Protein backbone atom coordinates (compact mmCIF):
# COMPACT_ATOMS: atom_id res chain seq x y z
CA UNK A 1 0.00 0.00 0.00
CA UNK A 2 1.43 3.34 -0.96
CA UNK A 3 0.85 6.36 1.23
CA UNK A 4 -0.81 8.86 -1.07
CA UNK A 5 1.02 11.73 0.62
CA UNK A 6 4.34 10.43 -0.69
CA UNK A 7 5.54 11.78 -4.01
CA UNK A 8 5.60 8.73 -6.24
CA UNK A 9 7.09 9.57 -9.63
CA UNK A 10 5.62 7.49 -12.43
CA UNK A 11 8.91 5.79 -13.19
CA UNK A 12 7.46 2.90 -15.10
CA UNK A 13 4.21 4.12 -16.56
CA UNK A 14 5.13 5.66 -19.90
CA UNK A 15 2.88 5.00 -22.89
CA UNK A 16 4.38 2.86 -25.68
CA UNK A 17 7.22 4.59 -27.57
CA UNK A 18 5.38 4.59 -30.87
CA UNK A 19 2.38 6.36 -29.27
CA UNK A 20 4.67 8.97 -27.74
CA UNK A 21 6.55 9.47 -30.99
CA UNK A 22 3.28 10.07 -32.81
CA UNK A 23 2.22 12.57 -30.13
CA UNK A 24 5.60 14.27 -30.48
CA UNK A 25 5.37 14.67 -34.25
CA UNK A 26 1.77 15.93 -33.96
CA UNK A 27 2.67 18.27 -31.07
CA UNK A 28 -0.27 16.77 -29.23
CA UNK A 29 -1.07 18.93 -26.16
CA UNK A 30 -2.85 15.95 -24.51
CA UNK A 31 0.60 14.53 -23.75
CA UNK A 32 1.90 17.61 -21.93
CA UNK A 33 3.33 16.41 -18.63
CA UNK A 34 2.92 12.74 -19.60
CA UNK A 35 6.37 12.49 -21.13
CA UNK A 36 9.44 14.48 -22.01
CA UNK A 37 11.45 13.78 -25.15
CA UNK A 38 15.27 13.74 -25.12
CA UNK A 39 16.95 14.28 -28.47
CA UNK A 40 20.10 12.15 -28.52
CA UNK A 41 21.82 14.13 -31.25
CA UNK A 42 21.59 17.47 -29.42
CA UNK A 43 21.44 16.51 -25.74
CA UNK A 44 18.32 18.64 -25.31
CA UNK A 45 14.96 17.61 -23.86
CA UNK A 46 11.59 19.02 -24.89
CA UNK A 47 7.90 19.02 -24.18
CA UNK A 48 5.76 17.02 -26.61
CA UNK A 49 4.43 20.30 -28.05
CA UNK A 50 7.81 21.92 -28.79
CA UNK A 51 7.83 23.96 -31.99
CA UNK A 52 11.35 22.82 -32.88
CA UNK A 53 11.93 20.51 -35.84
CA UNK A 54 11.14 16.97 -34.75
CA UNK A 55 13.96 14.43 -34.57
CA UNK A 56 13.92 11.03 -36.24
CA UNK A 57 12.41 8.25 -34.13
CA UNK A 58 15.76 6.53 -33.53
CA UNK A 59 17.19 9.72 -32.05
CA UNK A 60 14.53 10.19 -29.37
CA UNK A 61 14.29 8.76 -25.90
CA UNK A 62 11.37 9.35 -23.58
CA UNK A 63 11.32 10.27 -19.91
CA UNK A 64 8.49 10.36 -17.37
CA UNK A 65 9.82 13.49 -15.68
CA UNK A 66 12.11 16.44 -16.23
CA UNK A 67 14.29 15.16 -13.40
CA UNK A 68 14.83 11.82 -15.18
CA UNK A 69 15.88 13.66 -18.36
CA UNK A 70 18.30 15.85 -16.39
CA UNK A 71 19.79 12.80 -14.71
CA UNK A 72 20.38 11.35 -18.13
CA UNK A 73 22.49 14.35 -19.11
CA UNK A 74 19.92 16.35 -21.07
CA UNK A 75 19.42 20.09 -20.72
CA UNK A 76 16.07 21.86 -21.00
CA UNK A 77 15.21 23.20 -24.47
CA UNK A 78 15.31 26.97 -24.71
CA UNK A 79 12.35 27.04 -27.06
CA UNK A 80 9.70 24.99 -25.23
CA UNK A 81 11.28 25.36 -21.76
CA UNK A 82 10.14 21.99 -20.43
CA UNK A 83 10.95 22.89 -16.82
CA UNK A 84 8.74 25.96 -16.81
CA UNK A 85 5.21 26.15 -15.55
CA UNK A 86 2.66 28.16 -17.48
CA UNK A 87 3.84 31.39 -15.91
CA UNK A 88 7.25 32.57 -17.05
CA UNK A 89 9.88 32.10 -14.33
CA UNK A 90 10.81 35.05 -12.10
CA UNK A 91 13.88 36.86 -13.50
CA UNK A 92 16.19 35.63 -10.75
CA UNK A 93 15.18 32.02 -11.44
CA UNK A 94 15.78 32.44 -15.17
CA UNK A 95 19.17 33.91 -14.36
CA UNK A 96 20.11 30.96 -12.15
CA UNK A 97 19.29 28.56 -14.98
CA UNK A 98 21.47 30.54 -17.39
CA UNK A 99 24.33 30.55 -14.88
CA UNK A 100 24.23 26.76 -14.58
CA UNK A 101 24.21 26.36 -18.36
CA UNK A 102 27.34 28.49 -18.73
CA UNK A 103 29.16 25.70 -16.89
CA UNK A 104 26.98 22.83 -15.70
CA UNK A 105 29.94 21.15 -13.97
CA UNK A 106 30.30 23.92 -11.40
CA UNK A 107 28.70 24.22 -8.00
CA UNK A 108 27.53 27.79 -7.52
CA UNK A 109 28.06 28.71 -3.89
CA UNK A 110 26.18 31.33 -1.91
CA UNK A 111 29.29 33.48 -1.96
CA UNK A 112 29.43 33.38 -5.75
CA UNK A 113 25.73 34.19 -5.99
CA UNK A 114 26.18 37.19 -3.71
CA UNK A 115 29.10 38.37 -5.86
CA UNK A 116 26.62 38.39 -8.77
CA UNK A 117 24.23 40.53 -6.70
CA UNK A 118 21.84 37.59 -6.19
CA UNK A 119 20.47 37.03 -2.70
CA UNK A 120 20.97 33.27 -2.21
CA UNK A 121 18.04 32.59 0.10
CA UNK A 122 15.51 34.52 -2.00
CA UNK A 123 16.81 32.91 -5.18
CA UNK A 124 16.65 29.43 -3.67
CA UNK A 125 13.12 29.93 -2.38
CA UNK A 126 11.88 31.25 -5.73
CA UNK A 127 13.61 28.48 -7.65
CA UNK A 128 12.02 25.84 -5.49
CA UNK A 129 8.57 27.41 -5.58
CA UNK A 130 8.70 27.66 -9.36
CA UNK A 131 10.20 24.26 -10.23
CA UNK A 132 9.36 22.18 -7.14
CA UNK A 133 13.04 21.25 -7.11
CA UNK A 134 15.79 22.94 -5.13
CA UNK A 135 18.51 24.85 -6.96
CA UNK A 136 21.07 22.49 -5.43
CA UNK A 137 19.17 19.45 -6.67
CA UNK A 138 19.02 21.00 -10.15
CA UNK A 139 22.78 21.66 -10.22
CA UNK A 140 23.46 18.18 -8.90
CA UNK A 141 21.25 16.60 -11.56
CA UNK A 142 22.99 18.50 -14.36
CA UNK A 143 26.47 17.71 -13.06
CA UNK A 144 25.84 14.04 -12.37
CA UNK A 145 23.71 13.61 -15.48
CA UNK A 146 26.54 14.79 -17.70
CA UNK A 147 29.10 12.72 -15.81
CA UNK A 148 26.93 9.60 -16.05
CA UNK A 149 26.53 10.03 -19.79
CA UNK A 150 30.15 8.98 -19.96
CA UNK A 151 29.23 5.71 -18.28
CA UNK A 152 26.98 3.73 -20.53
CA UNK A 153 26.67 0.00 -19.85
CA UNK A 154 30.20 0.11 -18.50
CA UNK A 155 31.71 1.75 -21.58
CA UNK A 156 32.89 5.29 -22.25
CA UNK A 157 30.60 6.90 -24.78
CA UNK A 158 33.15 9.18 -26.42
CA UNK A 159 32.78 7.32 -29.75
CA UNK A 160 29.02 7.64 -29.67
CA UNK A 161 29.36 11.37 -28.99
CA UNK A 162 31.67 11.89 -31.94
CA UNK A 163 29.32 10.03 -34.26
CA UNK A 164 26.26 11.83 -32.95
CA UNK A 165 27.80 15.30 -33.13
CA UNK A 166 26.58 15.97 -29.60
CA UNK A 167 26.87 19.66 -28.92
CA UNK A 168 29.06 19.34 -25.84
CA UNK A 169 31.10 16.18 -26.33
CA UNK A 170 33.97 17.62 -24.35
CA UNK A 171 31.59 18.63 -21.56
CA UNK A 172 31.04 14.97 -20.66
CA UNK A 173 34.69 14.34 -20.02
CA UNK A 174 34.98 17.44 -17.91
CA UNK A 175 31.86 16.67 -15.91
CA UNK A 176 32.99 13.08 -15.53
CA UNK A 177 36.38 14.04 -14.15
CA UNK A 178 34.91 16.53 -11.74
CA UNK A 179 32.71 13.87 -10.16
CA UNK A 180 34.84 10.77 -10.64
CA UNK A 181 38.40 12.11 -10.62
CA UNK A 182 41.10 11.81 -13.24
CA UNK A 183 43.00 8.54 -13.45
CA UNK A 184 46.76 9.08 -13.13
CA UNK A 185 48.75 8.71 -16.35
CA UNK A 186 49.45 5.09 -17.17
CA UNK A 187 46.92 3.82 -14.63
CA UNK A 188 45.63 0.35 -15.46
CA UNK A 189 41.95 -0.44 -15.17
CA UNK A 190 42.82 -2.73 -12.22
CA UNK A 191 43.98 0.28 -10.22
CA UNK A 192 40.68 2.07 -10.75
CA UNK A 193 37.11 1.72 -9.61
CA UNK A 194 34.95 0.67 -12.52
CA UNK A 195 31.60 2.38 -13.03
CA UNK A 196 28.49 0.93 -14.60
CA UNK A 197 24.93 2.25 -14.83
CA UNK A 198 22.14 -0.09 -13.88
CA UNK A 199 18.57 0.76 -14.86
CA UNK A 200 15.78 -0.37 -12.56
CA UNK A 201 12.02 0.24 -12.44
CA UNK A 202 12.68 2.68 -9.57
CA UNK A 203 15.22 4.70 -11.51
CA UNK A 204 18.78 4.57 -12.65
CA UNK A 205 21.53 3.38 -10.31
CA UNK A 206 25.29 3.79 -10.33
CA UNK A 207 27.45 0.79 -9.42
CA UNK A 208 31.17 0.99 -8.60
CA UNK A 209 33.40 -2.04 -8.12
CA UNK A 210 37.03 -3.10 -8.18
CA UNK A 211 38.75 -6.49 -7.91
CA UNK A 212 37.63 -6.78 -4.25
CA UNK A 213 33.96 -6.54 -5.11
CA UNK A 214 31.08 -4.11 -5.16
CA UNK A 215 31.95 -0.82 -3.43
CA UNK A 216 28.90 1.31 -4.15
CA UNK A 217 25.40 0.88 -5.51
CA UNK A 218 23.13 3.92 -5.30
CA UNK A 219 20.25 5.64 -7.04
CA UNK A 220 21.78 8.44 -9.09
CA UNK A 221 19.54 11.11 -7.58
CA UNK A 222 20.50 10.20 -4.02
CA UNK A 223 21.53 13.27 -2.11
CA UNK A 224 25.15 12.98 -0.99
CA UNK A 225 26.13 10.59 -3.78
CA UNK A 226 29.00 12.81 -4.91
CA UNK A 227 30.40 12.87 -1.38
CA UNK A 228 30.17 9.09 -1.15
CA UNK A 229 32.12 8.80 -4.40
CA UNK A 230 34.71 11.29 -3.15
CA UNK A 231 35.13 9.38 0.14
CA UNK A 232 35.66 6.12 -1.72
CA UNK A 233 38.20 7.68 -4.07
CA UNK A 234 40.15 9.04 -1.13
CA UNK A 235 40.03 5.88 0.95
CA UNK A 236 41.02 3.66 -1.95
CA UNK A 237 43.41 6.15 -3.59
CA UNK A 238 41.91 5.69 -6.99
CA UNK A 239 39.89 7.30 -9.72
CA UNK A 240 36.73 5.98 -11.34
CA UNK A 241 36.61 4.92 -14.98
CA UNK A 242 33.70 3.56 -17.03
CA UNK A 243 34.09 -0.18 -17.25
CA UNK A 244 32.79 -3.51 -16.12
CA UNK A 245 33.93 -6.65 -14.33
CA UNK A 246 32.39 -9.86 -13.03
CA UNK A 247 30.98 -8.19 -9.88
CA UNK A 248 29.28 -5.44 -11.87
CA UNK A 249 27.85 -7.82 -14.44
CA UNK A 250 26.52 -10.04 -11.64
CA UNK A 251 25.08 -7.01 -9.83
CA UNK A 252 23.17 -5.97 -12.93
CA UNK A 253 21.84 -9.46 -13.51
CA UNK A 254 20.76 -9.93 -9.89
CA UNK A 255 19.10 -6.50 -9.74
CA UNK A 256 17.05 -7.46 -12.78
CA UNK A 257 15.97 -10.70 -11.07
CA UNK A 258 15.23 -8.81 -7.85
CA UNK A 259 12.90 -6.35 -9.57
CA UNK A 260 11.30 -9.13 -11.58
CA UNK A 261 10.46 -10.77 -8.24
CA UNK A 262 12.42 -13.91 -9.18
CA UNK A 263 15.10 -13.70 -6.51
CA UNK A 264 15.01 -11.23 -3.62
CA UNK A 265 18.40 -12.10 -2.15
CA UNK A 266 21.83 -11.35 -3.54
CA UNK A 267 24.97 -13.39 -3.90
CA UNK A 268 27.64 -10.82 -4.79
CA UNK A 269 31.19 -10.07 -3.67
CA UNK A 270 30.67 -7.01 -1.44
CA UNK A 271 33.49 -4.70 -0.39
CA UNK A 272 31.91 -1.70 1.34
CA UNK A 273 34.33 0.73 2.96
CA UNK A 274 33.50 1.61 6.57
CA UNK A 275 34.49 1.44 10.23
CA UNK A 276 34.29 -1.89 12.09
CA UNK A 277 31.03 -0.75 13.73
CA UNK A 278 29.50 0.28 10.41
CA UNK A 279 30.45 -3.04 8.85
CA UNK A 280 28.95 -4.88 11.81
CA UNK A 281 25.64 -3.02 11.32
CA UNK A 282 25.68 -3.68 7.57
CA UNK A 283 26.22 -7.38 8.21
CA UNK A 284 23.26 -7.37 10.60
CA UNK A 285 21.13 -5.69 7.92
CA UNK A 286 21.89 -8.50 5.50
CA UNK A 287 20.36 -10.97 7.95
CA UNK A 288 16.92 -9.30 7.72
CA UNK A 289 14.90 -11.51 5.39
CA UNK A 290 13.07 -9.98 2.42
CA UNK A 291 9.52 -9.14 3.45
CA UNK A 292 10.58 -8.52 7.07
CA UNK A 293 11.58 -5.30 8.84
CA UNK A 294 13.49 -4.43 12.01
CA UNK A 295 13.65 -1.34 14.20
CA UNK A 296 16.85 0.57 14.87
CA UNK A 297 16.68 -0.65 18.47
CA UNK A 298 16.50 -4.30 17.40
CA UNK A 299 19.59 -3.90 15.22
CA UNK A 300 21.41 -2.15 18.09
CA UNK A 301 20.66 -5.11 20.38
CA UNK A 302 21.73 -7.53 17.67
CA UNK A 303 25.17 -5.95 17.29
CA UNK A 304 25.66 -5.96 21.06
CA UNK A 305 25.06 -2.24 21.59
CA UNK A 306 21.58 -2.08 23.16
CA UNK A 307 20.30 1.48 23.31
CA UNK A 308 22.60 2.67 20.52
CA UNK A 309 19.73 3.37 18.11
CA UNK A 310 21.24 6.66 16.98
CA UNK A 311 24.62 5.17 16.14
CA UNK A 312 22.84 2.37 14.29
CA UNK A 313 20.75 4.96 12.45
CA UNK A 314 23.91 6.75 11.32
CA UNK A 315 25.60 3.51 10.22
CA UNK A 316 22.38 2.58 8.41
CA UNK A 317 22.34 5.95 6.64
CA UNK A 318 25.97 5.62 5.57
CA UNK A 319 25.35 2.32 3.78
CA UNK A 320 26.56 2.74 0.18
CA UNK A 321 25.16 -0.55 -1.15
CA UNK A 322 21.47 0.23 -1.59
CA UNK A 323 19.03 -2.72 -1.79
CA UNK A 324 21.85 -5.32 -1.62
CA UNK A 325 22.57 -4.28 1.98
CA UNK A 326 18.90 -3.74 2.81
CA UNK A 327 19.00 -0.60 4.96
CA UNK A 328 15.45 0.04 3.66
CA UNK A 329 14.25 -2.84 5.91
CA UNK A 330 14.96 -0.79 9.04
CA UNK A 331 12.01 1.32 10.16
CA UNK A 332 11.00 3.37 13.20
CA UNK A 333 9.92 1.46 16.33
CA UNK A 334 6.43 2.97 15.80
CA UNK A 335 6.30 1.41 12.33
CA UNK A 336 6.91 4.70 10.52
CA UNK A 337 9.17 4.53 7.50
CA UNK A 338 11.64 7.04 8.94
CA UNK A 339 14.10 8.28 6.29
CA UNK A 340 15.81 6.86 3.21
CA UNK A 341 18.71 8.27 1.19
CA UNK A 342 17.04 7.33 -2.08
CA UNK A 343 13.74 8.95 -1.00
CA UNK A 344 11.04 7.58 1.29
CA UNK A 345 8.79 6.76 -1.71
CA UNK A 346 11.44 4.30 -2.88
CA UNK A 347 11.69 2.72 0.57
CA UNK A 348 7.92 2.17 0.48
CA UNK A 349 8.05 0.66 -3.01
CA UNK A 350 10.93 -1.67 -2.08
CA UNK A 351 9.13 -2.91 1.04
CA UNK A 352 5.86 -3.41 -0.88
CA UNK A 353 7.72 -5.27 -3.63
CA UNK A 354 9.46 -7.54 -1.13
CA UNK A 355 6.29 -8.26 0.86
CA UNK A 356 4.42 -9.19 -2.29
CA UNK A 357 7.10 -11.50 -3.64
CA UNK A 358 8.35 -12.93 -0.34
CA UNK A 359 4.79 -14.13 0.40
CA UNK A 360 4.54 -15.61 -3.07
CA UNK A 361 7.81 -17.54 -2.82
CA UNK A 362 6.83 -18.92 0.61
CA UNK A 363 3.52 -20.03 -0.86
CA UNK A 364 5.29 -21.60 -3.87
CA UNK A 365 7.48 -23.76 -1.67
CA UNK A 366 4.50 -25.44 0.01
ZN1 LIG B 1 11.90 22.10 -27.18
In the 8-state DSSP scheme, what is residue 33? T
Check pLDDT > 70 for residue 5: no
pLDDT at site 87: 66
Cβ atoms of 332 and 338 within 8 Å: the answer is yes
Is pLDDT of 243 > 70?
Answer: yes
| pLDDT band at 156; cut points 50, 70, 90 | low
Where does the chain show beta strands of DSSP type E?
Answer: 36-39, 44-46, 60-63, 75-76, 193-200, 203-210, 213-219, 240-242, 294-295, 330-331
- The CA angle 200-201-204, to the nearest 5 degrees, is 40
Rounded Cα distance between 197 and 220, Å, is: 9
- Side-chain-side CA neighbours of 93 within 13 Å: the count stands at 21
Active-site residue 327, yes or no?
Answer: yes
Question: From the CA of 149, how far away is ligand 1's center (Å)?
Answer: 20
Share of the chain above pLDDT 70, in %: 86
- Threshold 0.85, pTM exceeds: no
Q: How far apart are CA 299 and CA 294, in angstroms?
A: 7
Round to whole Å and give the CA distance between 122 and 116: 14
In this structure, the strands spanning 240-242 and 213-219 are unpaired
Alpha carbon of 54 to ligand 1 centroid (Å) = 9
Q: How far apart are CA 340 and CA 229, in angstroms?
A: 18
Average pLDDT rounded to a whole number, residues 13-27:
88
pLDDT at 363 over 80: no
Can you tell me whether residue 303 is helix, strand or coil? coil
Q: Which value, in Å, is the radius of gyration of the alpha carbons in the chain?
A: 21
Question: CA 94 to CA 215: how far, in whole Å?
Answer: 39
Enumerate residues 6+ apart whose C-beta is below 8 A from 161: 169, 172
Q: How many CB atoms lie within 10 A of CB 202?
A: 20
Q: Which one of the listed residues 46, 50, 192, 327 is annotated catalytic?
A: 327
| pLDDT of amino acid 177 | 80
Q: Of 78-92, 109-123, 187-201, 210-224, where does the model show the most confidence?
A: 210-224
Q: How far is the CA of 315 from the centre of ligand 1 (A)?
A: 44
CA of 60 to the centre of ligand 1 (A): 12
Amino acid sequence: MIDSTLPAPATTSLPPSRVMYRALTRRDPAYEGVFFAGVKTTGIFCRPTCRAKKPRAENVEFFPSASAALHDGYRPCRMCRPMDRVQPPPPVVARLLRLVEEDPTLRLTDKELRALAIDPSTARRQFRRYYGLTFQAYQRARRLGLALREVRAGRPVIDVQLEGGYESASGFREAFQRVFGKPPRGARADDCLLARRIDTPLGRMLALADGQGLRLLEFVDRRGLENEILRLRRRLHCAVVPGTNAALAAAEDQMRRYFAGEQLTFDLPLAPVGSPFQRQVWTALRRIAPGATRSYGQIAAEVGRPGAQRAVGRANGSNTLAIVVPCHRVIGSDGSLSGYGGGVWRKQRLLDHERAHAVQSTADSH
